[in-house]
Structure 1
Amino acid sequence: MNEATQTLPDNIAELQKLVLDLQVKVNWYEEQFRLSQHKRFGVSSEKGAVHPDLFNEAETFADDHAESDAAVQETITYTRKKPGRKALPADLPRKIDRHELPESEQICDCGHALHVVGEASSEQLEIIPAQVYVIEHVQVKYACRGCEEGFKTAPKPAQPIPKSFATPGLLAYIIISKFLDSLPLYRQEAIFKRYNIELSRATMSNWVLTIAELLKPYYDRLKHHLITQTFIQADETTLTVVQDGRENGTKSYMWLYQSGEHRPLYPVVLYDYQSTRAGYHAKTFLSGFKGYLQTDGFPGYHLMESDALVVLLGCMAHARRKFDDALKALPKESRKKSGKVQLALSLIAKLYAVESEIKDLTVEQRYLVRQQKSKPVLNQLKAWCDQSVTQVTKDSRLGMAIHYVINQWKYLTRYLQDGALQIDNNTVEQRIKPFVIGRKNWLVNQTPRGANASALLYSLVQTAKANNLEPFAYLKYLLTELPKLGRHYQAEQLDQFLPWNLVEKIQPLDKVA
């Protein structure tokens, strides 16, 4: 036997290993391609935690004995929405237009007079465009006839921007248009031109920056009340600030912190601009906070655990999203037979079914139901992940999802410790979405000052919504009342203007007529 023949088995083994490695790489690239295609052309909504194939859960897992042992057949019911147009709100003001036949037509073909036998009613929705008018302040002057030296002038109401023609209502309108309706200032400039008003974007930009400075103490007071709470949720997203002293295109970050409790007594939503994603930004912002902090698993938040005053929570929605990505990365013909992915999604769906069941219960009741129903499902999910982690490649989408759950397990299960805690971070993601939508419209911020102003004003708008206050009325009230305090006042004086103290003074968001 020659030397070439002796080395043949080793060469075959090496080639087989190479083929296996290449096949793993090909599978990975195919997953990335299918997932990319789905993100670009597929449905992006994550509404509903149950995949359609899970309605036949037992049949789906019949081909995989390991998964079928864990699967439990369920009956899932739902109420189908009835088609048709919704009725117009009953509290909207109504103008009645009565339509009657002229007297000449109130004659029947037989020659007799017609008489009223009933009425038919239908409704249409009308709208009146914004009304713009000028407020002229006439200050009456008084003089003394006796000494001929005494002289007084009636003062004007305190204004948010002294010597400016901008009223609290106009300023609130501009802020709401940009930071709630995502209308850039250049579009607002064009809208004002239709009313024959020359109002440049530069002027409006200066107004926005000035108002942000006026409201900074109020923002700080909201932050004070947020830090004193026991459960906060956090998230962050990117933005570009052009003139921040770094290279153009360098990413900055908008951080978001909000009250996380189930039905919080004092809802607060705060944005915070920072130039990087370093974890010390969160540690600095939340200095003095003691309690639970729920995040998406970003390692930067782990700095918060260093002083043992903060307990981190994970986000089950992120775990589910990774399994959902693993399902989308499979070929279409394989998705219905993908027992492993389907089982994970099924177990997570059961956890969310429990959350739906307890959403209207008290904190104590939520805790007890979770211990009874959620904890066994979590134990089942953990056992399945521990069993499956050796059966999939780490770099595959399913492998990444399983490793995420195992690595984040202690954070994902901590919501069981208190009924006030949430299973996921979805609400804070919903709060950060308005900024993401606005970012698509104006793309960048020019300066850090502008980014900080945006953070503050987004905070006030979203805090108003969190407290069920109509944002325009809320901002107009603040810009009318805060200037009356003058330049020097105690921070505690701002408490009377905090949103939960204005419920009786400002129209609720769900009652807007």
Structure 2
Amino acid sequence: MLMEADLPDDVEALRALVLEQARELDTLKVFQADVERLKAIIEALQRHRFGRRSEQFDPDQFELALEEVETALAEAEHARDKASRTPAERPRKSNRGSLPAHLERIEQVVDVEDKACPCCGGALHQIGEDVAERLDVVPTTFRVLVTRRPRYGCRSCESAIVQAPAPARIVEGGIPTEALIAQVLVAKYADHLPLYRQAQIYARQGIQLDRSTLADWVGRAAWYLRPLRDHILERLRRSERLFADETTAPVLDPGRGRTKTGQLWAYARDDRPWGGDDPPMVAYVYAADRKGERAEAHLGDFAGILQVDGYGGYAALARRRQQISLAFCWAHVRRKFYELADNSPVATEVLRRVALLYAIEDEARGLSAEQRRAVRHDRSRIIVDDLRQYLEARIRQVSAKSKLGEAIRYALTRWDGLSRFLEDGRIDLDSNTVERSIRPLALNRKNALFAGSDEGGDNWAVIATLIENCKLSGINPHIWLTDTLNSLANGHPANGVAELMPWTTVG
């Protein structure tokens, strides 16, 4: 801001200054308009994400759109601040807390050149310092590990040659360390980078690796890791309650010159909402189709509660296996009515009542199973019973072929399974636990388009299982995979795979 002392005495100079200030003001107004417009776009996107039609918005496309608009907003704000003599005060965008302590610190001292006092010329002494930390990065750096194994001979006995055995490797005679193989696995199955894109990234650093070479490493690693996935699946079969879901896995079908639709089945357990002691875990299994017999084969002798969506294959499974009882998902019921809420007062009323159930569940989260059952008995049961009566009354008033009729019938035909949570505090209101575990597979499918074969689909399931369990346990999948591959290469016993599980390294 100009002070009175800064104003020129000359009239022409003063006129020029006023014109310059006016131009700057016009420029600021343009930048400010851009800022406001971009903020309005972000608000609109946020409303679309959390509004009534949020479930029809692809979450990945939403994130891509939002990050592009936020980038443009940052540029517009920076341009506005640079054009202004007094930059606008706005919150600084930064992560909360300090940078992680385990990161290497590179000290950089920015000091004055002259240590003499500018007033009297005396020697300066340090009275403090300002310290700022910034996050830096060194791009992926390759290095070559050179292993030397000296050979020794005996001067007295020339036939004796002594040499340490070569270290065991996942890829015998190959060039990758287990850490590099782990990097390829994490990039493909956690960060959703297909192998050909990884090869392009490596080529920028002068490392020429064919996609087929990377695929060979992945296949060998999958062979070693398969018993760990099978162990997790066996642990899940011994659980008292499981979530189950499935998603499509397009697979190349060379005989027909196109893809066929396989299935990736997910089985999950998470007892944290009611304070259970068992670690959360998930296992994926590939199958060539969606037949109900697949789930039966995967679950083996499982006996307990299976929480699922409305897929009829699970109902058929429960009829064949009396030791399995189904708990259905209220989120799927809610979704049916969500699509109709704009034009149907009945759908809006159903959503209001379901929202009451979710509000109660939010309050009960973290309580013991028995406490959750008591809360539901006292507060949720009357809502569920009244909702059933409401739906039974409305089903007689709407066409059976209408969307509303289908939504009501979907709920009423599954009412026993939807009500089961009232009697058992271990049951959740929905199957969102397993749906969250399915989401990474769907994102990988978008990036990879399809698996090359049924065998490739199962390798996908094996490695994705282990990476997702690392995430559930809160550990770095690259570190865990590196250590585990080293152990397996060095002959870790097959009957000891329980010692390698991700959750055993927590704490």
Q: 1:292 aligns with which of 305, 308, 311?
A: 305
Counterpart CA distance in 2 for 1:249 and 1:40 is 31
Q: 1:145 deviation in Å?
A: 3.5
Q: 2:449 aligns with which of 417, 426, 443?
A: 443
Q: 1:103 aligns with which of 97, 114, 117?
A: 114
Counterpart CA distance in 2 for 1:178 and 1:114 is 57
Q: Give the conservation status (yes or no) of the 8 Å contact 2:307–2:431.
A: yes
Q: 1:209 deviation in Å?
A: 1.2
Q: 2:488 aligns with which of 482, 493, 500?
A: 482
Counterpart CA distance in 1 for 2:109 and 2:350 is 61
Q: Give the conservation status (yes or no) of the 8 Å contact 1:253–1:273.
A: yes
Q: 2:290 aligns with which of 264, 277, 281?
A: 277
Deviation string 1:238-294 (CA, Å, 9 cap, x unpaired) is 122113766733321111111143456133211111111100000011111111111
The residue that corresponds to 1:205 in the other structure is 215
Q: Give the conservation status (yes or no) of the 8 Å contact 1:393–1:399.
A: yes
Q: How many residues align?
A: 420
Q: 1:307 deviation in Å?
A: 2.2
Q: 1:171 deviation in Å?
A: 0.4
SS at match of 1:304: helix
* 2:503 pairs with 1:500: yes
Q: 2:96 aligns with which of 87, 92, 98?
A: 87
Return the letter of the residue paired with 1:308.
Q
Counterpart CA distance in 1 for 2:146 and 2:54 is 54
Deviation string 1:324-359 (CA, Å, 9 cap, x unpaired) is 11115x3xxxxxxx5322221111111111111121
Q: 1:308 aligns with which of 304, 322, 338?
A: 322
Q: Give the conservation status (yes or no) of the 8 Å contact 2:243–2:267.
A: yes
SS at match of 1:311: strand
Counterpart CA distance in 1 for 2:59 and 2:146 is 51
Deviation string 1:161-211 (CA, Å, 9 cap, x unpaired) is 211111110000000000000001111001101111011111001111111
Return the letter of the residue paired with 2:506.
V
**Which sits farther off after the overlay, 339-348 or 121-130?**
121-130
The residue that corresponds to 2:338 in the other structure is 324
Deviation string 1:357-412 (CA, Å, 9 cap, x unpaired) is 12122222222212222212111211211121122233333322211111111111
TM-score norm. by structure 2 comes to: 0.77
The residue that corresponds to 1:235 in the other structure is 245
Q: Give the conservation status (yes or no) of the 8 Å contact 1:323–1:341.
A: yes
SS at match of 1:202: helix
SS at match of 1:215: helix
Return the letter of the residue paired with 2:284.
Y
Deviation string 1:45-101 (CA, Å, 9 cap, x unpaired) is 69xxxxxxxxxxxxxxxxxxxxxxxxxxxxxxxxxxx99533354434344544344
Return the letter of the residue paired with 2:197.
R
Counterpart CA distance in 1 for 2:337 and 2:59 is 15
Q: Give the conservation status (yes or no) of the 8 Å contact 1:107–1:114.
A: no
5 Å-filtered alignment, 1:377-416, equals 377-416=383-422
SS at match of 2:305: strand
Return the letter of the residue paired with 2:139.
P
Q: Give the conservation status (yes or no) of the 8 Å contact 1:252–1:276.
A: yes
* 2:137 pairs with 1:137: no
* 2:228 pairs with 1:218: yes
Q: Give the conservation status (yes or no) of the 8 Å contact 2:253–2:453.
A: yes
**Structure 1, gaps ≥5 residues long:** 1-37, 47-81, 331-337, 505-513
Against the structure 1 CA distance between its residues 183 and 225, is the aligned structure 2 distance closer, same or farther, given a 3 Å change threshold?
same
Return the letter of the residue paired with 2:94.
R
Return the letter of the residue paired with 1:204.
L
Q: Give the conservation status (yes or no) of the 8 Å contact 1:283–1:303.
A: no
Q: Give the conservation status (yes or no) of the 8 Å contact 1:260–1:421.
A: no
Counterpart CA distance in 1 for 2:394 and 2:337 is 13
Counterpart CA distance in 1 for 2:93 and 2:209 is 43
Deviation string 1:441-483 (CA, Å, 9 cap, x unpaired) is 1211111111111111111111111222211111111101012
TM-score norm. by structure 1 comes to: 0.76
Q: 1:144 deviation in Å?
A: 3.1
Against the structure 1 CA distance between its residues 373 and 436, is the aligned structure 2 distance closer, same or farther, given a 3 Å change threshold?
same
Against the structure 1 CA distance between its residues 105 and 127, is the aligned structure 2 distance closer, same or farther, given a 3 Å change threshold?
farther
Against the structure 1 CA distance between its residues 351 and 45, is the aligned structure 2 distance closer, same or farther, given a 3 Å change threshold?
farther
Q: 1:426 deviation in Å?
A: 0.7
SS at match of 2:325: strand
Counterpart CA distance in 1 for 2:425 and 2:437 is 22
* 2:279 pairs with 1:266: yes
* 2:440 pairs with 1:434: yes
Q: Give the conservation status (yes or no) of the 8 Å contact 1:172–1:475.
A: yes
Q: Give the conservation status (yes or no) of the 8 Å contact 1:232–1:261.
A: no
Q: Which has the higher contact order (CA 8 A, sep 6+)?
A: 1
